[in-house]
Structure formats: structure tokens, C-alpha cells
Structure 1
């Protein structure tokens, strides 16, 4: 006997964790799509119902739906029989791209959390030089002003600058190697404008905490940041 789709849907569309509401909402919607809870052409529950189930605002649901529609997963229709529907044909991985295994994805994301959360905390605990402080501030400005084409490159430069500010030369190549693996995976998923805006706010919180010497805040802000990226990667690649 097959499982009841309503039971599965209720299990997946449960309240998201605070801190990354948009990314978690995208992840939950993608789970229902990729696990086959929704069939091609089938309608999603109304925005109001999704917002209630997920414990987020209707604006967050609307932005998540728009992002997935732009990425080709959903189709919005107006009129008496309108609503949001699963696309008849879902986007595929780039031609020639090998599928990322769950083990590889988990390993990359766990290592990133270990390295980068620790780096943010260590950087905040140091007496940074004027040059180090200026570099962090400049890298933050660069990524905030980045075009979509340059965003991931300048995002990587900011994260490497944070690793450098931690004061351990051995840490930087480890973060760089992990970042290369991470970027290979990020290149397989859409660049979502709402996620970029949220990430930039998180970047600012991380850098400001480091510059203020607040290790707890720097650690918490970086942890929330990497968890948001992890939610999107799991959503699109699992």
C-alpha cells in the first residue's frame, strides 16, 4: 500500500526553523516536489495554508514560490482556476554533470561549518590590525555591490578574508579547498535574488561582530549563514 500523500505532505510542510525562513521554505517545497508528493501539473496548497503549515509569512511563501517559478519548478496561473502548479517537466542538472552524492554533500557542508564557524569566532577574538579590518570591510562592500555574474567569486573572497583574519595560516588553504568543492555544488543550483539579499545581511552581521570583537555573535551569525546555504543545497541536490 502506498503512503497517503496528505500524510507525507503534512510531515514535510511543517514549521521551519527561525533564522533562514526563506531558504528553509524553498527547501521544504523542493522536498515535496523531488519526493514525488506533487505530480506534474498538480496544484500546491494555497499561500495562506502553506504559510500556516510552515510558520512563516505569506510574503516569504510568495517569494519562495516566485524563486522556484523563475527556476522552472513551478508555474503560476491567474483566473478562476488559477494557482501555483508543479511544472510538467522539471529542470535537469547541467549536461555532463555528475550527480552530487548525499555523502559528498554532507561532508562538504559539515566541514564548512567546522572551518568557517570556527574561523569567524577566532577572528572576533583577535586584536585585528588596521589592514585586516580594512580588508574585511572592503570585501564586504565588494560582495554587496556584486553583479550576479561576480557574486559567488566575491562571496568566496569575503569568506577567505574571514579565514585569514582568524590568524591561522594553515586554516586558509583548508577553507579555500572546501570553498572550491562548495562552489562546484552552488553552480548547479539557481542564484536566487532573495537569498542573495539575505546572505548579504548575514555577511554584514558576521563582519560587524568580528570588528566589534564579539566572538559569540560572530559564531552565531556565521552558523546561521552556513545553515541557510545548506538548506538550499539540500533542497536542490538531495
Structure 2
């Protein structure tokens, strides 16, 4: 008979499994610092030796890193998703930029649809709270805060979709976006009219998700990314026109 004796799991293994799940589900994020050893042991109801054994195993697996004098942190596993050479290649070719936007349009449409369908009440509150912050930041002349919240809004939707693979994949893509690999997000917000339209689009996405209308949420997310694609194309053309105009002006001045 294929039955085996039930063995009690070591406490350290229970700690390992709980921290693994928190990382997998995106509740513990790359770069996030864990509580102190004493506090974490108390929260989890285990001894400090059991906790140390679990932390050591997670460090061996590359999920946690220890920094002298600073504590224990979730490892930045997303940074290795794309090689440095490939990241440089992305940043120097427009083709990669527009493929990135197309990729996001497909996945974010799906994420918005899933958020409207599967997101918990708390998930929806988080999305709405970030959107309200965007509204407040919209009143400021400097678009930096609103541009930063743009990424936070989209990531909140992806988290609410409750698809672990999508979450980690798009987090990696957003890390590259934040680093300016694909385009400068603040550039998108530099014109007031564009900022107004972007806020309207985020409002439409939020309202559809809050109404739990999956189809409307998908359409709103896809329309937003189509607008981003068109705006980026227009910005690229404007930059090229300005470059030609500068050359023409320099030539004119040299003729004296």
C-alpha cells in the first residue's frame, strides 16, 4: 500500500513556506526590508533559532539577502529578468518601445478585466485610493508626482487581478519603465491637455473596475494604452522635427 507515516513539519520549514508565499503573491516586494529578528519571531510565533534557520535557507535560495548593519531584505530577483545587454538594446530602438506598449495593452486589458471580476473589496479600495491621489497630484504644476502614481495605479490593478505570473512579469517591465529604459513617463505628462486626457482615461478604468464591469474595464485599459502609443509616436515626430529645425537654423546662421 502506498501510505507513509505522517511526519510533523519543522517550524523553520513552516516559516520558509509562509515567506515564500508572501513573495510569490507579491505581498513582500523586491527590496522590502523584513522586520527585525525579534519582531518577526514574535509575529510568527516561533523561536529565534527556528527563524534564523528559515532565513538562512531563504538566503541560500536567493530569495532574501542580508545587508550588514541594515537587516534582511527581499532579493531583487526581477533585475535579472532581462540582461544588461538586452536592456541597452531596448533603450536604443523605437521598435522595442512600441512593442512594449503593445504588450502592455494586451496584458493590462486582461488585468483590468480580471480585477473587475476577481478583485476583492479591499483590492478595489486600493485602486480607488491610488486614483484619488492621482487626482490630487493633477492639481500640481510639476507632473512628477502624477507620473509616479501612474505606475502605482497600474500595478494596483495588476495586483487585484490575482494572477501571480502576470504580476511578476509586469513588475519587471515596470521596473524598466521607471528606470527610463522605454520612455520618460514625465515626458508624457508635460503638456496640460495630455495630462487632462490621461486623468480622464485613468478615471474611466477606475470607474469600470469599481462598477465590476469586466468588459468596460478591458476596453478602458486598452484605449488608454492606444492613447499612450499615439502620444509617444507624436512626441518622437516632434523631437525629429525640432532636430531638423535646429540644423536648419545653424546652417542659416553660418551663412551670415
Q: Distance in 2 between matches of 1:110 and 1:208?
A: 23
C-alpha RMSD over aligned residues: 2.0
Give the whole-Å Cα distance in 1 for the aligned partners of 2:187 and 2:206: 26
Structure 2 equivalent of residue 86 of structure 1: none
Partner of 1:193: 192
Inter-partner Cα distance in structure 2 for 1:187 and 1:220: 22
Between 129-138 and 99-108, the greater mean CA deviation after superposition: 99-108
- Matching residue of 2:110: 118
TM-score normalized with structure 2 length: 0.50
- Name the SS for the 1:210 alignment partner: helix
Give the conservation status (yes or no) of the 8 Å contact 1:108–1:181. no
**2:214 corresponding residue in structure 1:** 215
Deviations 1:138-191 (A, max 9, x none): 011011111412111111100000001111122222222222334420348352
Q: Distance in 1 between matches of 2:162 and 2:91?
A: 36
- Once the two structures are TM-superposed, the CA of residue 106 in structure 1 deviates from its matched residue by 2.1
Matched, 1:106 2:98: yes
Once the 2 structures are TM-superposed, how far is the Cα of residue 202 of structure 1 from its aligned partner?
1.1
Secondary structure of 2:146's aligned partner: helix
Counterpart CA distance in 1 for 2:186 and 2:91 is: 10
Distance of 2:199 and 2:226 partners within structure 1: 14
Q: Of 143, 153, 159, which aligns to 1:158?
A: 153
The number of equivalent residue pairs is 140
**Equivalent-residue separation in structure 1 for 2:166 and 2:147 (angstroms):** 20
- 1:178 matched to 2:173: yes
Conservation of the 8 A alpha-carbon contact between 1:124 and 1:210: yes
Partner Cα distance (1:158, 1:187) in 2: 14
Q: For structure 1, which runs of at least 5 residues remain unmatched after alignment?
A: 1-97
1:142 and 2:137 aligned: no
Task: Quote how far apart the aligned CAs of 1:198 are.
Answer: 1.0
What is the distance in 2 between the residues matched to 1:121 and 1:192? 30
Structure 2 residue runs of 5 or longer lacking an equivalent are 1-89, 238-256
Relative contact order higher in (CA < 8 Å, ≥ 6 apart): 1
Q: Aligned-pair distance for 1:99?
A: 6.6
Instruction: Name the SS of the counterpart of 1:145 in structure 2.
Output: helix
1:60-98: CA deviation from partner (whole Å, max 9, x where unpaired): xxxxxxxxxxxxxxxxxxxxxxxxxxxxxxxxxxxxxx9
Residue of structure 1 equivalent to 2:21: none
In structure 1, what is the Cα distance between the partners aligned to 2:185 and 2:209? Answer: 29
> How many angstroms apart in 2 are the aligned matches of 1:139 and 1:236?
27
Q: CA deviation digits over 1:108-162, x for unaligned, max 9?
A: 1111112211101111122x32311210110110111114121111111000000
Question: Against the structure 1 CA distance between its residues 101 and 136, is the aligned structure 2 distance closer, same or farther, given a 3 Å change threshold?
Answer: same
Question: Runs of 4+ in structure 1 displaced over 6 angstroms?
Answer: none
Pick from 155, 163, 167 the counterpart of residue 162 of structure 2: 167
Equivalent position SS for 1:125: helix
